[in-house]
Amino acid sequence: MTTRKPTATELMRALETMSEDDADEREMARILALTPDELDRELAAHGVDPADARARGENMAREVAKRLGQG
């Protein structure tokens, strides 16, 4: 059985996807390295109320735990 070689377009798309994945991973690592105060400042700078976002996240976590029978 022979495998066909990918086209140049297929190779470029694969490389672009890998690059996007790497950029996403770097951004996630950057965010995870922020202190709570730095994260709050960054959220606020983008128009997000940190306290509201935190409360919504906590509510979501409770709802998921309840649906999974863990809460």
pLDDT in tens, 34-64: 999 999 999 999 999 999 999 999 999 999 9
Two tokens, residue 32: 């995870």
Residue 14 is which amino acid? Answer: A
| Total-model pTM | 0.59
Instruction: Give dist(CA 28, CA 21) in Å, integer.
Output: 11
What is the sign, positive or negative, of the torsion defined by CA atoms of 43, 47, 51, 56?
A: negative
Selected residue with higher pLDDT from 45 and 11: 45
